Structures are given as structure tokens and as C-alpha cells.
Amino acid sequence: MSNSAPVCTMFVDFRAAFDQLWFLGCIGKLRNLGIPSSFLNWIEVWLNNRRCFIEINGSKSRWFSIEKGGPQGSVLTPTLFITYNCDMCSSLSGCINHFFADDLAGIMAGQLGINYSSQCLDLEKRIKVFLDNLDYYSCLTDQPINFNKTKAMFSARAIGHPKFVINFRQDTMDIIEWTSEYKYLGYIISPKLGWGKFLKYMMTKIRQRISLIKSFKIFGCSSPYLRKTLFMSHVLPIFTWIYPIYPLLSENQQNDLSHFYYSSLRRVLYCLHWNENFFAFALDEKSLEDRCHSYWEKYLAALADSIDGELLFEKANLNVFRQIWIDKQFSIKCLRTSKRFIPHQSIIEKIVGWMASIPSRSSVPVYEIDEIQLLKDFPESFDSI
């Protein structure tokens, strides 16, 4: 989309995903992946020969065998499902795929270097190829798709929606609807490709939980320690949703979130009249920026030793070569540059640049004893908790 090409994101929903796990196909794929026979035999015994019955108002049905689907509530079932569908992305060529648990997102873009109408026609063909490959894979793996929950989102610099209809199969009336926003893996995504709606949703959720914490009392009272414990266990996890995207936000959004984090904690502890710097010093509380920085330090350290990390760094290098090509330092005969090409950085480059801009010192201020003694001149501003 940064190069003015229309983009379609297909959010695919599998019907009763874990309950449709095909035993024979799963065991066969695990065998092809080289799983040791001892583990394979254990998994096969764990899946097969399971029976159940249905009870309604005290009346029980007869026992019947379960021919597919992993046991409900087991931690092994999602792992088997992911392993069973590990070859899905390679089967869906011509697009970028993101597959997590039972959530699949396929991203397709129109051809570059042509006018917008031709790009939309090319995008329609790519969507058709994607759906054909998805249908073929669905039949092979016996993994049905829920058409009612499968949505498509159109993103483009031009205003308006596409004028073509997405049919999953030509001989059926299974139509995939266009949507203006979609909640994927906890994040609200819209065609504007901004984080505004997600941040607004998150802040509303945090305010609701803060209200619950402030109303929580034991024997008619509550302590600051209890309220802070509840904040760390029920509110801070929502803030952790921001950690992966914090470096990608604008400076104003980062400042607003940092202020919102401190004000939320001060509200829980009834310290709204405290200055943020003194509040951080008194409670030895790190800023949201510091927490995000620590998160990315650990993540990049783990990423450096993984295959995914190598692929991301390789993509960053491709962006460098792309920029050199745009600057006409070398040419490619089959491609031509366009005024609509927009220079952009990879996510890794942006994050590393953001981390380099963060001071190495802690965000918790350090006051000298003389500065602390000055606080006695302002008792009305620094009441105890």
C-alpha cells in the first residue's frame, strides 16, 4: 500500500478448528516431519479410541466414538493443530500469510507500475487464486471454512470500496463480505492502517478495570498495596498489548500513552495531585517507555538466535537494496521506478532506531536529600497515600 497499490487482507475463520482435527492426516504429517516413533505412538494412542455421550436434563445418550477433533482443554491440542497446518502458508502462494493458532490472515496487493483500475483487476485475480488454493487445502486437510465469519478488508490510497464481489466458489452462493474493521489477535485493524481505534479501545478497557479496582473493598476498606497489586495483575497486562507496537506509534501517541499510564496508576492510588516525576521517584515506578524498551531488548536478543530473526534481518537488507534501486544507483531492466514509490524502513530498522533514541539511564528520577527536604514547604501538594 505504501507504493499506492490496493491491498486486500483476507481474515479466514476455520469452522470449529480444533474439533475438526483429522487423526490420520495429523499422524501422517507428524511422521513426515520426523517425529520420533515413541512420541508418535503416544500421540496416536492419545487421539484414538475416545468415546463420549451427551446428557440433557439427566437423560444420557448412547456411547459413540470420536473420529476427529482434539480433546477440549488440553494444551497439546493447539500444538497439534498448528503442526498439522504447518504447510498451509507454503500452499497459499502469491500472498503474505500470517497464521497463528486457528487465525489466518492472507495479504494480497495489486501489481505495481500500472494504473489504479488495472491494479484492482489484478488484485481480484490474486484473490481468486488465493481462495482456490485455500479451498484445495481445506479439502485435502478436511478443515472446513466458516464463510460467515471470514471477512475481507480493502486498503488503498483511493477513497471508496472495491466494486467486485468475492465468491469463494463459483458454483455456490458463499460470498465473503467486505468489512471496515476487524479484530485480529486482539488488535483492531482498519483500512486506515492506524492504531487510533485500537488505542481508544484499549484505554476504554483500562478505565473500566480501574473503576472496578477503586470500587473493590474488603471489610469496607482497601489499602494502596492491594490496589497496586490489582493494577499490576489486571491493568498492566492490557498495557502489555502496546509493547509490540509502541515504537511504531507517533511521538504524540507515545507521549499520551506514557501520561495515561502514570495517571492510571496515580488514579488507583489516589495520587492524582502528585507530580509524575515525584510519583515515579516515591514509588520507584518505571515509565511505560522503559517497560517497552526492556521488552524489545529481550525480544531482539531472542530473535537474533532464531530463524525468524534471520528472515527479518534479510528483509531489512532487501529494503536497503530497494532504496538503492529507487535512488537509481543501479537499474533492473524488467522494472521501472515510479513517482509513487515511497521510501520506507523495515520494522526492525524502526525499532532499533527508536531504542537508540531512548536514554540509557532509568526513567525513575533520583533526588538528593536537599531536594527531598524542600518538599516540606509544599505539604498540600504531597499528601501521603
Question: Of 96, 108, 119, 121, which is closest to residue 4 (Cα–Cα)?
Answer: 119
The reply to whether 150 and 274 lie within a common domain is no
User: Which of 164, 189, 214 is the last residue before a domain boundary?
Assistant: 189
Q: Which range, 52-66, 152-166, 349-363, is most confident?
A: 52-66
**Residue 36 belongs to a domain:** no
pLDDT at residue 344 in the model: 60
204 confidence band (pLDDT: 50, 70, 90)? very high
Count Cβ atoms below 10 Å from residue 55 Cβ, excluding itself.
9
> What is the C-alpha separation between 233 and 369, in angstroms, rounded?
33
Average pLDDT over residues 140-159: 81
pLDDT at residue 330 in the model: 60
Q: Residue 150, Cα to own-chain centre: how many angstroms?
A: 18
Is the pLDDT confidence value at 379 over 50? Answer: no
CATH number for the domain harbouring residue 177? 3.30.70
User: Which of 138, 158, 189 is the last residue before a domain boundary?
Assistant: 189
Crossing angle of helices 251-268 and 224-234, in 10° steps, is 140
Q: Residue 362 carries which DSSP code?
A: -
pLDDT at residue 83 in the model: 85
Percentages (nearest 5) of helix, strand, coil residues in the chain: 50, 15, 40
Share of the chain above pLDDT 70, in %: 78
Instruction: Name, in order, each residue with C-beta under 8 angstroms of 35's C-beta and a sequence gap of 6 or more.
Output: 43
Lowest mean per-residue pLDDT among 62-71, 93-102, 164-173, 219-228 = 164-173
Residue tagged 499528601 (cell numbers):
383
**Residue 34 belongs to a domain:** no
Angle at 96 between CA 103 and CA 184, to 5 degrees: 30
Lowest mean per-residue pLDDT among 180-189, 234-243, 360-369 = 360-369
**Residue 128 belongs to a domain:** yes
3-class DSSP state for residue 178? strand
The reply to whether 86 and 185 lie within a common domain is yes
User: Which of 169, 189, 209 is the last residue before a domain boundary?
Assistant: 189
Average pLDDT over residues 2-16: 80
The reply to whether 179 and 288 lie within a common domain is no
pLDDT at residue 384 in the model: 42
pLDDT at residue 103 in the model: 83
The reply to whether 236 and 371 lie within a common domain is yes
Lowest mean per-residue pLDDT among 31-40, 85-94, 207-216, 224-233 = 85-94
**Residue 57 belongs to a domain:** no
Is the pLDDT confidence value at 162 over 90? Answer: no
Domain total in the chain: 2
**Residue 206 belongs to a domain:** yes
> What is the C-alpha separation between 235 and 186, in angstroms, rounded?
15
Is the pLDDT confidence value at 341 over 60? Answer: no
The three-state DSSP-derived secondary structure of 10-73 is EEEEECCCHHHCEHHHHHHHHHHCCCCHHHHHHHHHHHCCCEECCEECCEECCCEECCECCCCC
The reply to whether 248 and 123 lie within a common domain is no
Q: Which cell goes with 53? A: 455421550
The reply to whether 135 and 158 lie within a common domain is yes
Q: What is the pLDDT of residues 223-268, one digit of tens each?
A: 888 888 889 999 999 999 889 889 888 889 999 999 999 899 888 8
**Residue 385 belongs to a domain:** no
The reply to whether 350 and 249 lie within a common domain is yes
pLDDT at residue 193 in the model: 67
Is the pLDDT confidence value at 211 over 60? Answer: yes
What average pLDDT does the structure give for the chain?
79
The reply to whether 235 and 370 lie within a common domain is yes
pLDDT at residue 305 in the model: 76
State which residues form the domain around 360. Answer: 194-334+344-377
Q: Which cell goes with 334? A: 524488467
The reply to whether 96 and 184 lie within a common domain is yes
The reply to whether 277 and 164 lie within a common domain is no
Q: What is the pLDDT of residues 301-337, one digit of tens each?
A: 887 777 766 666 666 666 666 566 556 666 655 545 5
> What is the C-alpha separation between 258 and 289, in angstroms, rounded?
7
pLDDT at residue 256 in the model: 92
Which residue type occupies 185? L
The reply to whether 115 and 18 lie within a common domain is yes
Residue 188, Cβ density class (10 Å: 0-12 exposed, 13-18 middle, ≥19 buried): middle
**Residue 29 belongs to a domain:** no
Q: Which cell goes with 385? A: 497515600
Average pLDDT over residues 330-350: 59
DSSP-assigned beta bridge partners for residue 188 = 183
Lowest mean per-residue pLDDT among 59-73, 156-170, 260-274, 342-356 = 156-170
pLDDT at residue 208 in the model: 92
Average pLDDT over residues 269-287: 79
pLDDT at residue 69 in the model: 83
**Residue 383 belongs to a domain:** no
207 confidence band (pLDDT: 50, 70, 90)? very high
pTM: 0.65
The reply to whether 318 and 210 lie within a common domain is yes
> What is the C-alpha separation between 193 and 383, in angstroms, rounded?
44
Question: Of 242, 281, 247, 276, which is closest to residue 259 (Cα–Cα)?
Answer: 276
